[in-house]
Amino acid sequence: MPTRLGYLLIDGFALMSYAPVIEPFRAANRLSGEDHYIWRHYSVDGRPALASNGVTLAVDGSVESMGDIDMLFVCAGGNPALFRDKGTFAQLRRAARFGVRLVGVSGGPFILARAGLLDGYRCTIHWEHEAAFLETFAAPRLERGLFVLDRDRTTCAGGLAGLDLAVTLISRDFGPRLARRVSDWYIQAEQRQGGGAQRPDPGQRYRISSEGLGRALSAMEENLGEPLDRSSLASVAKMSVRQLERLFAAQLGTTIAVHYRALRLERARRLLAETGMTVAEVATASGFANGSHFSREYRRHFSMPPSASRSGSIAGQIRPLAI
């Protein structure tokens, strides 16, 4: 019996996250000469699903008409925190009760968590949604890898990580030889493991030459809610505060304080867009001592008040990426 795959496409899903979790299964069929996998597509209401780039994809039916499947991929992008369709959540819970393996892709884990289907499970999500996920859900055990397989739940950060996940699933189902052929088919020179990093380390992202500065940048990103002082950052970098300030100026063209504040404000922007936290709560979660100071800095940085970045705000033009 072929493995029956289902794809629930939530409007705003990204083709770059969807294609890597279906094309490898097609390739497995083609390369093996057998129909190891078959699939059907669903949307919330049965209408064509709208991708983030404006392309529409025909589906086989609505989520309520979903037939017998073995594995369901929930593909979502944009701002998954806005998705609140109770009927879809009910169908996902029903699928779980009937033993369907649920796979959240990109923003899909947010939807699975909202349905209560990741409580007690290890999981991952695209880094763009990490801050909001952590502030919204306490029961799931969030990790920062490319994908996580935990019992009958699978989560994937999206993007090209879907190819790594699909090849892993094919290897589990039909052995490493077929998986290797699929990987070669898509010119994947090296398959990444689930625990691999979603992003390059700050040293690579900022193209800096100092290892100490890289360590300081990593410490900043890991301590946004409770910012470290300059002395602590210098200690992490294994240099003096003065040396660290000089490196920030020379290699990043900014200061420690300005860069750290920008990181915290970016975290605040995501929380405002993807959670129902109050401005005061967002301020605290982003390391600001009080709401008024936070609001002033936010307005100065983004040229708009925090309220304008709320989800659904006409004035708020800064949106999470459709990944």
- Domain end, chosen from 151, 185, 219, is at 185
CATH number, residue 241: 1.10.10.60
Same structural domain for residues 231 and 119? no
pTM: 0.85
Same structural domain for residues 236 and 288? yes
- Domain end, chosen from 140, 160, 185, is at 185
Query: 321 lies in a domain?
Result: no
Query: 29 lies in a domain?
Result: yes
CATH number, residue 176: 3.40.50.880
In which residue ranges of the chain is pLDDT below 70?
Answer: 311-323
Note the pLDDT of residue 311.
62
Same structural domain for residues 25 and 159? yes
Query: 192 lies in a domain?
Result: no
55-77 pLDDT, tens digit each: 999 999 999 999 899 999 999 99
Same structural domain for residues 167 and 289? no
For residue 111, give every residue at least 6 positions away whose Cβ sits within 8 Å of its Cβ, in sequence order, or none.
10, 74, 76, 80, 83, 88, 89, 92, 104
How many domains does the chain divide into?
2
Same structural domain for residues 260 and 172? no
Residue range(s) defining the domain that contains residue 220: 202-309
Same structural domain for residues 153 and 258? no
Note the pLDDT of residue 315.
36
Query: 126 lies in a domain?
Result: yes
Same structural domain for residues 112 and 237? no
Same structural domain for residues 217 and 175? no
Query: 315 lies in a domain?
Result: no
CA atoms within 13 A on the CB side of 225: 10
Query: 318 lies in a domain?
Result: no
Same structural domain for residues 149 and 239? no
Query: 317 lies in a domain?
Result: no
Same structural domain for residues 77 and 181? yes
- Domain end, chosen from 185, 220, 238, is at 185
Same structural domain for residues 41 and 69? yes
Note the pLDDT of residue 202.
87
Same structural domain for residues 181 and 213? no
Note the pLDDT of residue 205.
86
Query: 196 lies in a domain?
Result: no
